[in-house]
Amino acid sequence: MFEAWLGRMGAPVALLGVVGLIAFFAFPYDLGFLTRILIMMIFVLSIDLVLGYGGIATLGQAAMYGTGAYAAGLFAVHISANPLLGLLIGAGAGAGVAFLSGLIVLRAHGLGLLMLTIAVAQILHEIANKARVVTGGADGLSGIRMAPLFGRWHFDFIGQTGYLYALAVLVLVMVFLRALCVAPLGLTARGIHESPVRMAAIGVPVYGRRVLIYTIAGGLAGLAGALSAQVTALVSLQVFSFSLSAEAVVMLILGGTGRLWGAIFGTAIFMVIHHLAATADPYNWLFVIGILLLGVVYFIPGGLMGVRQRLRILFGGQG
């Protein structure tokens, strides 16, 4: 029973871990960049849960990411340098903000909802900016020194520990999300996405479930923020920026919404292209991304993960 579960759930995720390890050895000098990709993947996964599965329109997921980053950063500076505790704090803070803001913003729908999610992130941005004494304001929060992971592995300059740490967290998040997606709550999220009206008619307290999903995803976003604070030892106001939320949504659409692997691939492709294009031509890299996105939206509306499905339909056999 457990082995069967492991076979179904474990194998693809194990593959993710293996690919991550290969990258670790193949690009030893780019670990900083690769770590950012891994963290971004967690963040984009959190948006996939909200937007792709729950159908909740958001452009403000950075609110939870930023809260997690500041919470973990402040926790490390003032209370404990234990990285795992810091992660929990970051996730808890992200979930808390998602829950409280969700109670309000999820009363709205469509464009109104979209605006409110942006507003929440903007408000937090302003608070972090004004509360200089606590957050360091525009200078950012510095002075974060993490204790060694499990008291053994130091966060080194090349970023080896940071990379493997982020990879491990990503794999765990992926295992969690794959289990969640096939659990009753995962089906509920898809049902709400398909038809909130019908969900209400079969007795589902739709608003409450939306808040629950938003809160779980907020926890994951907070986790990503906390990771970033710990690995880079810095938190800047950027963590609350609109562009962070928006870029992450673009990555998700690129890869395909409502599919966990869509978030993974979309993030990897976006960030690698961004990296290469920005190195080749610092001024026009957005052009490349724009064209890519246009192409995807026009020709493969399901995102890159939709390609597989399309091919399957093309070459006979059913999805």
Partner 1 sequence: MPVGLGVGLQLRGLCKSFGGLAVAQDLNLDLPPGARTALIGPNGAGKSTLAQLITGCLVPDQGMVMLDGVDLAAVSQAARVKRGIAKTFQITTLFAGLSLRENLRLAVQEQRGQGARWFGRADRCPEVEEIIEFQLARFGLLGLADQMVGRLAYGQQRLVELALTLCLQPRVLVLDEPAAGVPMGEIPMIVEALEGLPKNLAVLLIDHDMDLVFRLAQHIVVMVAGTILAQGTPAEIATNATVQRLYLGEAFDA
Do the Cβ atoms of 166 and 35 come closer than 8 Å?
yes
- Residues in 203-242 at the binding interface with partner 1, rule: CB under 8 A: 203-206, 209, 212, 216
Nearer to partner 1, 137 or 191 (CB): 191
Which two tokens mark 221?
A: 């976003």
Q: Which long-range contacts (CB under 8 A, 24 or more apart) does 250-255 make?
A: 250/289, 250/293, 251/40, 251/44, 252/44, 252/47, 252/48, 252/51, 252/52, 252/303, 253/293, 253/296, 253/297, 253/303, 254/292, 254/293, 254/296, 254/303, 254/304, 255/44, 255/303, 255/304, 255/305
- Residues in 143-182 at the binding interface with partner 1, rule: CB under 8 A: 179-180, 182
Nearest distance from residue 84's CB to partner 1, in Å?
21
Nearest distance from residue 120's CB to partner 1, in Å?
24
Nearer to partner 1, 6 or 179 (CB): 179
Give, as one character, the DSSP assignment of residue 316.
S
Applying CB under 8 A, does 111 fall inside the site for partner 1?
A: no
Nearer to partner 1, 146 or 173 (CB): 173
- Residues in 187-206 at the binding interface with partner 1, rule: CB under 8 A: 187-188, 190-191, 194-195, 197-206
Cα-only R_g, the chain: 19
Do the Cβ atoms of 154 and 161 come closer than 8 Å?
yes
Nearest distance from residue 222's CB to partner 1, in Å?
17
Nearer to partner 1, 76 or 177 (CB): 177
Nearer to partner 1, 151 or 184 (CB): 184
Chain centroid, CA 210 distance in Å: 18
Total residues at the site for partner 1 (CB under 8 A)? 26
Give residues in contact with partner 1 (CB under 8 A). Answer: 179-180, 182-188, 190-191, 194-195, 197-206, 209, 212, 216
